[in-house]
Structure 1
């Protein structure tokens, strides 16, 4: 494969430019490659980088004369991961990819980023195996003779459609091979749907996905800061939804070079000098039922008002609340009581909240000031408290209360 790949790029450098591969997968009679490259079809003066998926037949041995020792079935298409608007915001640089099997499809979860500028952003997009094959089997080819790479009319495609697997590629005619040689790229992209977890000032360099009964749990890592995001991803009808569950820094003694998953149990991180094991059930960090119960690895104990690793028995046991992101944490409402917090005049108090949450005081949203400061992890710090600060403070995430405090400043 390496020799054939090298030969391909050497002979057709005008078609595939400076590729950087991030993953390959064996599925059925094909091998699928995910990579980024210089986009020859972009119209800008600067060299643009696009992400691609490519496919080749496993039994492809090249042509007899034309495309000798070169793949005859190679096709590629752009991967579209973008925020829709009048001027779409593209995440064009694929960084990592992993494969997930579902009951009716194969999904490829990929981390994508914008170009390396002062405003770099990242997101996760999900590409369907069925959508990829639908495009390769029935989509229009890009016309290399068109200045803007317009779709090639369907009646211009020969009977042997490029990319079709055959028992022996030596039997293909020179006419078919000359056409395949010049029509490697599809006109339309493969859509990754709405981006998951679009985030500024990060580059998600690694990804892993743990498949649970109700949802998939995405782990995305920025190895520049060794920060890990945990995100729930689930389907409601024909719509996919997501919810950020957790964000934390991983202490591994240097930049993380590799990340791998033991499903349902651990993540492993490797730096140049060490390997670190990280439990998926980081339950002790959740301060409330609403945050704990939607984490698929945790359950909330009502009597102890604390979060513990989830066990199968918790689902049928009294005093335990176990939910998931798609169902929400409505069961927590009955047990939710304001947490008393005592302080003295002049103290500073720190209220633990949720990343992305908003804070309210007695039902009114708090505006940050020199005395009320929002923290990066979703908390709230109130400086130099006085009796005027006596009130109920609640943190809401996506409109739902995740924790509530009752502050009492006493002389």
Structure 2
């Protein structure tokens, strides 16, 4: 039923290999969850009625699969309840690693949620159990869960209609949220994270579970519903109350998660995904809150202070049935202070404290982002998933690279450098637009695994090989990539453990001055034609600037058309001859870094001598022409000079022939006019008349006749003396 496909997608100027695993029988694959198990070198994929095990190095190779169908009895019960046949199947929505050999798997099971244990070699253990509150009834319902030390924390709906939200701890010491709108009001759960706050904590505090979600706010009075982002906190050691809040969280608190642009008073309230960036100390952890348009970063220390030192907000009824929200002070967690007064567990807390906790789950202060603004704002995108990879550059600094999946099937790679956020790469994952529904990163393999409704793709975290030039590699400012001088290619920095002095990388500034200079490209043009000079940078961070003989060209000049692929020169004239430079401009901390990536020398075909080209260039910028003159190839100028010499000799010969022809025509006309040359038929007529006269009368003296002939000959000789050999053929 399933087959592997290797797909190649074209991105920018190079090809990037994308390994693809998809289903051939139908368009819907229903990928719902991914689990990366680096120890087993396996990617587990949860879909409809099946779990797949794929090779982590090459997901096009399927290792195994295990089907888990809803029974016919369950399906027959599901359909009469208003659900279609497709929905009344088993959608695997939860995959968690228990240990090296077991997985915890949960599925909708025809709207009868069920969880089970699965051996990594794909054998089910017969311990299936009805799992309300662990897994959603509806396949499309948003949910979240985490498996920690034999305890399963889940946030989902607890009934068939999806109207009873719940945050539940099961398996050991089951505890859940109270079913009240002040606790959870139409929530959409996003993510769950564990923070070991008990480690090296001077206050003796407990470990915490943080749940991120969006809900309808109850503290604001509007005509329409106002959605807000929330972060909720519960203590791992919470056992519930003794009389009040039995088997309910006594440590449940929530706060608003703020992500806004203060000067515009614009709030990003719909959280799409959360990624927790963990450090050695839990206080240094970072939470990344992603909406459709923005990403905000939060300090774990700030989050902890809001819950431990903040005030509580609760409603009070006033006159005319109005509700007013008041601020209260109080404590709810079990720490050294609580233990000192005899409260060792939550069940020891007095009823008055538990009553206050039940009625005041909302904190007054909101959790504000680092810098009080988003670290990334991208208009025109609609983000759905986020992942973060950490990499150390040549400058020994660690960079956090964000991988952002969008609902149109694009992947954006971005990172923050000294307060500036850059999107270094955009990659189209699918030929047809499909939303990214899950995203996992394997730091060990350097790979991203991305799921859409119908397929799973494998993409390298960095595609350094796509940068074919040194300037492109360096200007991309990709923390994963560096240019190798010896290999003359862009390589993955993590694989270059030795000879780092041979590498070029400039993440902070995008300074490509260490790259080799570009050679001049020769271009001959014909007057009146159009010329296109190519210059297409790979870097998303750079802007293109063109210079003509050292002077920057302006975009408003109608003679030129600046575009992403270069520059077009229309109706070119002799003044356009000269030197054109394409430069990439990177901006960082108010400074500009310029790198020349392409140079062109334009010559008109009618004007090819070096002196003429330089003279034309000097009209615009004499200094700029002299600066670039040394890089003009002399072979081009010599060849052009030889061609012009041949043309000049031919032109002189033609002029001589034309002059001789005009002189000959003039002499002929002059001789006919003076009578020195007679028309042939008149000469014959004269000779016949003379012969006739001599025959009829006495003959003329011989001397006169001979003298006449000699006179004529003398005249011709004089003319011939003037004109030389031109009339020799006529005498």
- Give the TM-score, by structure 2 length: 0.48
Aligned to 1:217: 401
Match of 2:270 among 79, 93, 96: 93
Separation of aligned partners in 2, 1:131 and 1:404: 46
Q: Do residues 282 (structure 1) and 463 (structure 2) align?
A: yes
Instruction: Indicate how the Cα distance of structure 1 residues 311 and 177 shifts in structure 2: closer, same or farther if over 3 A, else same.
Output: closer
Match of 2:665 in 1: none
Structure of greater Rg: 2
Distance 1:405 1:171 in 2: 76
CA 1:252–1:266: 2 relative to 1, 3 Å: farther
The aligned counterpart of 1:333 is 513
Deviations 1:273-314 (A, max 9, x none): 332111122113336545524322211134675423225547
Contact 1:22–1:94 (Cα < 8 Å) also in 2: yes
Q: 1:349 to 1:20 in 2, by over 3 A?
A: farther
Q: CA deviation digits over 1:39-93, x for unaligned, max 9? A: 12234432111111110011222222222222111011111112231x3222211
Instruction: State the Cα distance separating 1:356 from its structure 2 match.
Output: 4.7
Q: Tell me the residue number matched to 1:116.
A: none
Unaligned runs of 5+ in 2: 1-152, 159-165, 169-174, 197-206, 318-322, 336-342, 393-397, 606-731
Q: How does 1:41-80 map to 2 (within 5 A)?
A: 41-80=219-258
Q: Note closer, same or farther for the CA distance 1:173–1:291 as it changes in structure 2 (3 Å cut).
A: farther
Which one of the candidate residues 536, 547, 555 is aligned to 1:352? 536
Match of 2:306 among 129, 135, 154: 135
C-alpha offsets along residues 327-382 of structure 1, whole Å, 9 cap, x if unaligned?
A: x344x3132534655666535454222325322222647538996354xxxx3443
Structure 1 pair 13–315 and aligned structure 2 pair: CA distance change class (3 A): same
User: Higher helix share goes to which structure?
Assistant: 2
Deviation at 1:270, TM superposition (A): 1.8
Query: Hey, what does 1:401 align to over in structure 2?
Result: 594
Task: Indicate the structure whose relative CO is greater, using CA pairs within 8 Å and at least 6 residues apart.
Answer: 1
| C-alpha separation in 2, matches of 1:288 and 1:25 | 42
- Output aligned runs, 1:227-306, within 5 Å: 227-234=410-417, 240-251=419-430, 254-263=434-443, 265-286=446-467, 289=470, 291-293=472-474, 294-302=477-485, 306=489
Matched, 1:18 2:186: yes
**Residues 115-130 of structure 1 aligned to structure 2 (within 5 Å):** 122-130=293-301
The Cα offsets for residues 211-246 of structure 1, whole Å up to 9 and x where unpaired, read as 223111111111x21111111235x5xxx4433221
1:197 paired residue number? 376
- Match of 1:80, SS state, is coil
Q: Specify whether residues 112 and 339 from structure 1 end up closer, same or farther in structure 2 by C-alpha distance, changes over 3 A only.
A: farther
Unaligned runs of 5+ in 1: 114-121
* 2:316 equivalent among 133, 145, 162: 145
**CA–CA distance in 2 between the matches of 1:339 and 1:257?**
47
Structure 1 counterpart of 2:332:
162
TM-score (norm 1): 0.82
Determine the structure 2 residue equivalent to 1:117. Answer: none
More strand by share: 1
Q: 1:226 aligns with which of 409, 412, 427?
A: 409
Change (3 A) 1:372 1:189: farther
Q: Distance in 1 between matches of 2:483 and 2:355?
A: 64
Q: Give CA deviations for 1:106-140 in whole Å, capped at 9, x if unaligned.
A: 11122123xxxxxxxx1111111111111111012
Q: How many Å separate the matches in 2 of 1:230 and 1:337?
A: 29
1:82 equivalent in structure 2: 260
Q: How far apart are 1:179 and its partner, in Å? A: 0.6
SS at 1:191 equivalent: coil
1:367 aligned to 2:544?
A: no
Number of aligned residue pairs: give it: 384
Alignment of 1:306-325 (within 5 A): 306-311=489-494, 313=496, 316-323=499-506, 325=507
Distance 1:196 1:266 in 2: 24
CA change 1:137–1:365 in 2 (3 A) is: farther
> What residue number does 1:391 align with?
580
Whether 2:214 is the aligned partner of 1:36: answer yes
Separation in 2, partners of 1:380, 1:145: 65
Q: Measured at CA, do residues 351 and 41 of structure 1 come closer, stay the same or move farther in structure 2, by a change above 3 Å?
A: farther
* CA distance, structure 2, for counterparts of residue 208 and residue 403 of structure 1: 35
How many angstroms apart in 1 are the aligned matches of 2:391 and 2:442? 13
Whether the 8 Å CA contact 1:288–1:402 is kept in 2: the answer is no
